[in-house]
Every structure is written in structure tokens, then in C-alpha cells.
Amino acid sequence: MKITYGFNSTMTAKPGMGDKLIELLLSGVNEGNPGSSEYCLVYLVSRSASDLDVAHITEGWTTEEDHHRIFDSPAAQAIVAQFRDLLASEPLYTDYVPVGGKAAL
């Protein structure tokens, strides 16, 4: 499968809540959650080196439609709802169309 849609998101947790935010974001790849979908080809959670309350998420999906369909699921909406209590501000999103590169973890 090929990635045709992706995005980056930056989320800032309330002071001292960065660990909980990271834990919640990483649960996104657990069975039944959005990142475990066969249509999610990249799900990378990173943390700011200078502010432990800031998380960066990179996702790559087969299509934009697949992304929206999966995120409309009850499991995805349950995770999204949990973010609201942790975040200090609205997440910042940048969507994109991947054109090439390299990834290895």
C-alpha cells in the first residue's frame, strides 16, 4: 500500500501532563485503535526535546477518506475525547501529500 495522505500535529499538554499525553498518543496503535488500522501506514509519536509537555505526531494513511472513516469510529472518538482534558491549547495540524523519502525506526 502507498501513503497518499498524511499530517503532522503538535499538541501541548497542560503543565506536567506531558507523560499522560504521550501515553494516550501511544495507545493509538493498540489493537482496535486508529493507528492499528491497516490503512494507517505511519504513526509516529515524538516529544519535544526542550518542552516535555509538547508532543508531535506524524501519520501517513492510504487515503484521506480512509483516515476520516477510521477516525469516525467509536474507538477513535473515545481517544480524541480524552485529549480535551489534557491539552493546554488546540492542536496544530498540517496536512500533506507525501512524495518520497525514507523512514526507519
Q: Give the model's pLDDT for residue 76.
A: 85
Q: Find the CATH number of the domain harbouring 16.
A: 3.30.70.100
Cell of 2: 502507498
Q: Does the residue 104 lie in any domain?
A: no
Instruction: Give the domain range for residue 77.
Output: 5-96
CA distances from 21 to 2, 54, 57, 94 (A): 29, 9, 11, 19
Q: Does the residue 105 lie in any domain?
A: no
CA angle 27, 11, 8 (to 5 degrees): 85
Q: Does the residue 101 lie in any domain?
A: no
pLDDT digit string, tens, across residues 23-77: 999 998 999 888 999 999 999 999 999 999 999 999 999 999 999 999 898 888 8
**How many domains is the chain partitioned into structurally?**
1
Q: Give yes or no for residue 18 having a pLDDT over 90.
A: yes
Spatial neighbors of 88 by CB under 8 A, at least 6 apart, are 12, 13, 14, 15, 53
Alpha-carbon torsion (12, 21, 61, 63), positive or negative: negative
85 Rama class: left (phi>0) / alpha (psi -120 to 50) / beta: alpha
Q: Give yes or no for residue 103 having a pLDDT over 80.
A: no
Q: Give the model's pLDDT for residue 105.
A: 62
Spatial neighbors of 39 by CB under 8 A, at least 6 apart, are 1, 61, 62, 63, 66, 67, 70
Residue with cell 498540517: 94
Q: Does the residue 103 lie in any domain?
A: no
Q: Does the residue 69 lie in any domain?
A: yes
Q: What is the pTM of this model?
A: 0.88
Q: Give yes or no for residue 104 having a pLDDT over 70.
A: no
